[in-house]
């Protein structure tokens, strides 16, 4: 959700990778469906838990394998993905080996030259915002104030200090600064990704009815 926080473009692939969760002997043979210089996304109906530490082994040439340590930073559950979007989880690599990291960047560049960038699978216009957003979990009594960093007719994204579990039910109130309209919605957490200053939480609304609101937001001065 949001102004896209990816630091490099994704490229679609069909690439076999081996993923080994930390402190487990089990090695998962999975398919990466997109890559960029900072990590990859693997397709599976049984994602690993958010923040799981993993080792990833990738064949990048004939007889040439790269191994990265990383962690799970994004999950798309099978029952919560948009039409045409694969379920699975995203892995962010830990860099530090200059020769290995350079080889991975060159591999990503080679793949990108022969494939088109992975499309964004969004059904609604999404805009970057800084709107007042109040959020209350179903088990809490009081609303908490946040800033909505992105908004579409189907959901919103905001940054918190603490992670929110996927599936958590939320009540939300959005205030538009120019029209004074207040939209009260309900939804659930469908994304929780570690970012520089906390966690980027994505909420999907139960009944997307915000097309006009989003159009007004898109027209606001930057």
Express each pLDDT in 44-77 by its tens digit: 999 998 899 999 999 988 889 999 999 999 888 8
Calculate mean pLDDT across residues 120-129: 50
Measuring CA to CA, which residue among 159, 109, 144, 219 is closest to residue 5? 159
Task: Average the pLDDT over each of 13-22, 32-41, 43-52, 182-191 and give the range with the smallest value.
Answer: 182-191
Per CATH, the number for 126-218 is: 2.40.10.220
pTM of the model: 0.55
Does the domain formed by 11-114 have CATH 3.30.9.10? no
Strand partners, 158: 148, 201
**Sign of the torsion angle spanned by Cα atoms 5, 47, 79, 158:** negative
Give me the phi and psi of 49, to 5 degrees please: -70, 150
Q: How far apart are CA 188 and CA 190, in angstroms?
A: 6
174 pLDDT tier (thresholds 50, 70, 90): confident
Note whether 11-114 and 126-218 share their fold: yes
**Domain residues of the chain, as ranges?**
11-114, 126-218
Q: Is 203 helix (H, G, I), strand (E, B) or coil?
A: strand
């Amino acid at each position: 959700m949001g102004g896209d926080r990816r630091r490099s473009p994704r490229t679609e692939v069909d690439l076999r990778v081996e993923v080994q969760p930390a402190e487990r002997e089990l090695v998962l043979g999975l398919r990466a469906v997109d890559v960029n210089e900072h990590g990859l996304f693997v397709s599976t109906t049984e994602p690993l838990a958010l923040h799981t530490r993993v080792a990833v082994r990738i064949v990048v040439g004939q007889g040439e394998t790269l191994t990265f340590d990383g962690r799970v930073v994004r999950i798309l559950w099978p029952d919560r993905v948009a039409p045409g979007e694969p379920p699975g989880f995203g892995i962010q690599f830990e860099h530090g080996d200059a020769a290995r990291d350079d080889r991975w960047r060159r591999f990503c560049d080679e793949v990108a030259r022969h494939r088109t960038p992975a499309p964004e699978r969004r059904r609604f216009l999404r805009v970057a915002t800084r709107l007042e957003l109040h959020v209350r979990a179903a088990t809490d009594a009081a609303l908490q104030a946040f800033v909505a960093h992105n908004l579409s007719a189907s959901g919103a994204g905001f940054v918190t200090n603490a992670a929110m579990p996927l599936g958590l039910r939320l009540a939300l109130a959005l205030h538009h600064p120019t029209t004074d309209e207040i939209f009260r919605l309900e939804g659930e957490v469908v994304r929780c990704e570690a970012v520089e200053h906390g966690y980027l939480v994505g909420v999907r609304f139960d009944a997307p009815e915000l097309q006009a609101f989003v159009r007004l937001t898109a027209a606001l001065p930057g």
